[in-house]
Structure 1
Amino acid sequence: MIQSHLGEIYSFITAICWTVTAVAFELAGKKIGSLSVNYIRLIIGFILISLITTFSRGMVLPLDASSHQWVWLSISGFIGFVIGDLFLFQSFLEIGSRISMLIMALVPPITALLGFLTMREMITLSDFFGMVITIVGIFVVVLVKNPEGNKFELSRSIKGIAYAFIGALGQSSGLVLSKIGMGSYNPFAATQIRIIAGMIGFTIVFMFMKGWDKLKVDIKNKEAFKPLFWGTLFGPVLGVTFSLLAVQHTTTGVSSTITSISPVLIIPFSIYVFKDKVSPKEIFGAIISVIGISILFIL
């Protein structure tokens, strides 16, 4: 039973990892800013994943990867880590994180569509139903009223919505390209290739933005390092690795749907860490999402 649902289990673990890393990076981002967090997390991630591959594979670098794997995984890392995350964080500034996360819920259907178009992955009726239920639950949780007013946290900024959509498209494309490039290759080594591509990409970004002076100061910020370390461990290292394991054992659409419940899983963390109040609507949305996941597991 467990073997037949390894992909779903790995996807759920990935969702937990994304939840932990989101909280950690929010804490770090308040200290040094999101762009520096993005770059530093990849540097720390590369060091950690290199240690893992050294002990698990006896190789510091993925030198055994084929040219096919290097090309596709590098493209995946650049699109997912750099383009996807860069536009996602910019959308936070334009339209706020809640509506951005709502738009990011489009990742599962986009991923499923890309998986069908590129790899002819079929989606069953029960899979589709589970995806819809899960996404509905996410919508219920993410669309909440502004605590300071009587309006939903929704912006009419076309630019912000476009940024968030590009972020969703970047994550979906990165996941599909990972599956094309990885095949049966070691997930840790595949993650390492993606991180290398992401580091190169963000290096280019910093060169254009001339942000090296600020980065030098941010790296020395001791208060930001602890959450940054844990966020990196659970994000670019464990999170990405489990996401790659997931797509090895299930379709990209199903995997992406399960990992998209992070906005629901983050509720207890928000209560404990940020002392947020949880409304009955948010609890209801969490229950709906759990039902959707159950459908993906059982049917």
Structure 2
Amino acid sequence: MESIPYLGEAASLLSAMIWAVSMTFFTAYSKQLRPDQLNLFKHVIASLFLCLGVLIINPPWPEAPEVYLAFFLSGFVGLTLGDTALFAALSRLGAQNTSVSQCAVPPLTAILAFTFLQESLTFWEMLGMAITVIAVFLILSHRSSRSHFTLSKRQLVEGLFFAGVAALGQSSAVVIIRHYLQGTDVILGTTLRILPSLLILLAVTGYKGQLRSLLRFLKANPRGAITLSGVSFMGTFLGLLLMSLGAKYAKAGISSALTSTFPIWIIPVSAVVLKEPVSLRKTVWTVVAVAGIGVMLV
């Protein structure tokens, strides 16, 4: 496959498009299911395909116990807490605003790595962080009175809180397993993160009595069950494979930059599927926010 021109770049770009589609459809169902229910269903579907992938690939398993502990903690922080908060943000802010808020993940990761792992920050990383944070702030602080999709003050405050928790969760999850990523297969590593998270979500939803209502919803809405299964497969499994393919066959900076473009692709997708309004201001600043991530990779 190495002879296929631009294979890595195409895979990275396609993964961003897939995540844009997945996040849009998750937003649609975030109005009908609770965040933890939606996250649980996504975990179930993703776990099935990830376990199948591990069986097919049969990668070497880590020997050190601390590796398993690190992946468990990363899964709890990033997948149990972070993804549940992400779905809560989607139901309040919508797909476009939530995706833009997640542009803060790379800057937050860099700051946490600088603080706890003593990783250095270059001039370009600090400049890119500043560009991204300013762009995200300008998007989320703007409320157009002409838009039928204007958020209430409560929606905005709650949505920003959950978006912040999601971004912090994802950033912390990356920092926790930073030292163990290179020596662990990406499919196996993701499986080690998602299975403990799945068990926690099962316990929580079962304790709160939400498991039956989730099953009732899926039984009464077979089309919704099929759609959610498809986007769970695409977003968690297929998107991950394409991202890994991009990282393998494209330069690291280019691959990361292309993968980070999903907030741009989500604008037209959410406009068609969710009828979210598109403004020139939001589009321009979304591009600027993504460009800031690109500057961090220089």
The reply to whether TM is greater than 0.5 is yes
Name which of 65, 70, 93 aligns with 2:62.
Answer: 65
Distance of aligned partners of 1:11 and 1:115 in 2 relative to their CA distance in 1, 3 Å threshold: farther
Q: Which stretches in structure 1 are left out of the alignment for 5+ residues?
A: 1-5
More deviation, 217-226/259-268: 259-268
Q: Distance in 2 between matches of 1:99 and 1:222?
A: 29
Question: Does the aligned pair in 1 maintain the 2:109–2:174 contact within 8 Å?
Answer: yes
Q: Distance in 2 between matches of 1:112 and 1:228?
A: 33
Query: What displacement does 1:108 show?
Result: 2.6
Which position in structure 2 is the counterpart of 1:79?
Answer: 77
Q: Distance in 2 between matches of 1:286 and 1:104?
A: 11
Question: Does the aligned pair in 2 maintain the 1:139–1:285 contact within 8 Å?
Answer: no
Which position in structure 2 is the counterpart of 1:271?
Answer: 271
Query: What displacement does 1:110 show?
Result: 1.9
Q: Distance in 2 between matches of 1:102 and 1:159?
A: 16
Distance of aligned partners of 1:7 and 1:250 in 2 relative to their CA distance in 1, 3 Å threshold: farther
Distance of aligned partners of 1:240 and 1:154 in 2 relative to their CA distance in 1, 3 Å threshold: farther
Query: What displacement does 1:289 show?
Result: 3.7
Alignment size in residue pairs: 285
Identity of matched residues, %: 25
Distance of aligned partners of 1:260 and 1:290 in 2 relative to their CA distance in 1, 3 Å threshold: closer
Cα displacement string for residues 55-96 of structure 1 (whole angstroms, at most 9, x for unaligned residues): 2x137xxx8233222111111111111111223434556x64
TM-score by length of 1: 0.76
Question: Does the aligned pair in 1 maintain the 2:35–2:85 contact within 8 Å?
Answer: no
Question: Does the aligned pair in 2 maintain the 1:144–1:153 contact within 8 Å?
Answer: no
Which position in structure 2 is the counterpart of 1:202?
Answer: 201
AA aligned opposite 1:168 = A
Q: Distance in 2 between matches of 1:43 and 1:117?
A: 34
Name which of 114, 120, 123 aligns with 1:122.
Answer: 120
Cα displacement string for residues 134-159 of structure 1 (whole angstroms, at most 9, x for unaligned residues): 44444444444345669974736876
Q: Distance in 2 between matches of 1:281 and 1:16?
A: 21
Q: Distance in 1 between matches of 2:201 and 2:269?
A: 29
AA aligned opposite 1:189 = L
Q: Distance in 1 between matches of 2:171 and 2:245?
A: 16
Which position in structure 2 is the counterpart of 1:24?
Answer: 25
Distance of aligned partners of 1:151 and 1:192 in 2 relative to their CA distance in 1, 3 Å threshold: closer
Q: Distance in 1 between matches of 2:145 and 2:226?
A: 30
AA aligned opposite 2:178 = K
Question: Does the aligned pair in 1 maintain the 2:103–2:289 contact within 8 Å?
Answer: no
Which position in structure 2 is the counterpart of 1:226?
Answer: 226
TM-score by length of 2: 0.76
Question: Does the aligned pair in 2 maintain the 1:143–1:153 contact within 8 Å?
Answer: no
